[in-house]
Amino acid sequence: MSRPAAIIGVGQTKHAKARADLSIPGLCREAAGRALADAGLDWPDIEAVVIGKAPDAFEGIMQPELFLADALGATGKPMLRVHTAGSVGGSTVIVASHLVESGIHGRVLAVAWEKQSEGNAQWGLAGGRSGGIGAGGAFAPYIRAYMERSRAPEYIGWQVAVKDRLNALKNPYAHLQLADISLEKVKESPMLWDPIHFLESCPSSDGACAVVIGDEDAAAATPRPPAWVVATSVRSEPSTFPGRDAVRPQAGVDCAHDVYRQAGITDPKAQIDVAELYVPFSWYEPMWLEGHDIAGAGEGWKMVDSGETDLGGAFPVNPSGGVLSTNAIGASGMLRMAEAANQVRGQAGEHQVDGARVSLGQAYGGNAQYFAMAIFSSTRS
């Protein structure tokens, strides 16, 4: 009963610390307009709009999708607003894909955004109170536990930080463009949340991302190759409970196995050509490689160390530069999906992985408790 769905258009803003030249509708429309153009469509061609973003307090607008609906051409159409913390951009793509797979709509626009320069994410994460620890403070203990558990050397985190920033130099949309990044610079950057250095952390960005998801007819009519959505999954678990493994959350394991099963993947490392993983702090690259059973226990950091996750490596991770180079929180998860889709469409530009046919997009959120994952393919499975 489930019909095929494909990403047929992708758009994103030029991400920056502050897009002071744009209003919030302007930011979202820059991404959405590019996605429509990529798909060869115009606003009236869209049947429904799904909007995702992280907490409303980041911009101080309650349910901002209400004032954004008509900016995104949704008047007279169904509109949904998804909020699953940091994973929301990924969840938004999945909700939109369900609208197509279910046969309800033929062409759906999904938009995710955050304009962090209008407020302060640290303030928001602290619930508006003093003494906030930021996402880094929340995740640092898990990172430390991973380091102890896996016996990974501390330079692994520096390596990821350098790799993703070098990849970002090949991505004109990426916020950070750090041409002079080096292991030494990462190591010498201030310690923000021990063991996380400043340069091992994501920036705070203004940005939006949009994708058009279409059915078979829509995919056939699009000017550029589609990325078929061959598997999607979401998994959530409570934020804290006695016995929870926050280093390798079960929800992340289950979510990964669900998409592998749907896509017929038995050896993810061999069968997936490229992955865009939500890595806001450098250590999350090896943590997710292990947490999603791409690498065995204690083996994820060795993939980093051997260069396997480099753009030219056997299993490239975040060729776009990832969250470490652009973090507009609500958009970040969708950017993973959009970049993964563009890889199998052959539309990733300078950071294209040669011959990519199968890609993985992943987003996580909350206290590493919400997961959204999808597998894209250049061919219908």
For the CB of residue 153, give the shortest distance to other proteins in the complex, in Å: 18
Of 137 and 313, nearer to other proteins (C-beta) is: 137
Subset of residues 1 to 60 that bind other proteins, contact rule: CB under 8 A: 1-2, 18-26, 29, 33, 43-44, 55-60
- 104: contact with other proteins by CB under 8 A: yes
For the CB of residue 225, give the shortest distance to other proteins in the complex, in Å: 25
Q: How far is CA 271 from the centre of its chain?
A: 20
Taking contact as CB under 8 A, which single stretch among the options 93-101, 170-178, 286-294, 303-311 is the one that binds other proteins?
Answer: 93-101
Among 14, 37, 47, 61, binds other proteins (CB under 8 A): 61
Of 262 and 352, nearer to other proteins (C-beta) is: 262
For the CB of residue 311, give the shortest distance to other proteins in the complex, in Å: 31
Residue 212 token pair = 């058009």
Among 6, 7, 39, 74, binds other proteins (CB under 8 A): 74
Subset of residues 124 to 183 that bind other proteins, contact rule: CB under 8 A: 124-134, 136-137, 140-142, 144-145, 148-149
- 381: contact with other proteins by CB under 8 A: no
Amino acid residing at 261: R
Of 39 and 99, nearer to other proteins (C-beta) is: 99
For the CB of residue 166, give the shortest distance to other proteins in the complex, in Å: 26
For the CB of residue 120, give the shortest distance to other proteins in the complex, in Å: 4
Subset of residues 184 to 243 that bind other proteins, contact rule: CB under 8 A: 190-196, 233-243
Residue 197 token pair = 């250095």
As a whole number of Å, the end-to-end CA separation of the chain is 16
For the CB of residue 276, give the shortest distance to other proteins in the complex, in Å: 21
Among 155, 170, 246, 308, binds other proteins (CB under 8 A): 246
CB 269 within 8 A of CB 288: no
Of 136 and 316, nearer to other proteins (C-beta) is: 136
Subset of residues 347 to 376 that bind other proteins, contact rule: CB under 8 A: 366-367, 369
Residue 77 token pair = 């159409």
CB 199 within 8 A of CB 283: no
Size of the site for other proteins (CB under 8 A): 111
For the CB of residue 113, give the shortest distance to other proteins in the complex, in Å: 14
Among 8, 12, 39, 83, binds other proteins (CB under 8 A): 83
Of 256, 236, 254, 310, residue with least CA distance to 85: 236
Among 182, 189, 250, 352, binds other proteins (CB under 8 A): 250
Distance CA(285)–CA(336), nearest Å, equals 13
SS (H, E, C) 150-185: HCCCCHHHHHHHHHHHHHHCCCCCCCCCCCCCCHHH
Count of Cβ atoms closer than 10 Å to residue 314 Cβ: 13
Q: Which residue has the tokens 């692994």?
A: 156
CB 58 within 8 A of CB 244: no
Distance CA(379)–CA(97), nearest Å, equals 17
Distance CA(341)–CA(319), nearest Å, equals 12
The pairing of strands 227-236 and 6-12 is antiparallel
Distance CA(180)–CA(151), nearest Å, equals 29
Of 96 and 227, nearer to other proteins (C-beta) is: 96
Among 14, 185, 216, 254, binds other proteins (CB under 8 A): 254
Among 12, 13, 84, 327, binds other proteins (CB under 8 A): 84
For the CB of residue 226, give the shortest distance to other proteins in the complex, in Å: 20
Of 119 and 300, nearer to other proteins (C-beta) is: 119
Subset of residues 108 to 127 that bind other proteins, contact rule: CB under 8 A: 117-120, 122-127
Burial of 355 (0-12, 13-18, 19+ CB in 10 A): exposed
Distance CA(311)–CA(315), nearest Å, equals 8
Long-range CB contacts (within 8 A, 24+) of 378-381: 378/225, 378/227, 378/228, 378/344, 378/345, 378/346, 379/228, 380/4, 380/228, 380/230, 381/228, 381/230, 381/263, 381/264
For the CB of residue 333, give the shortest distance to other proteins in the complex, in Å: 13
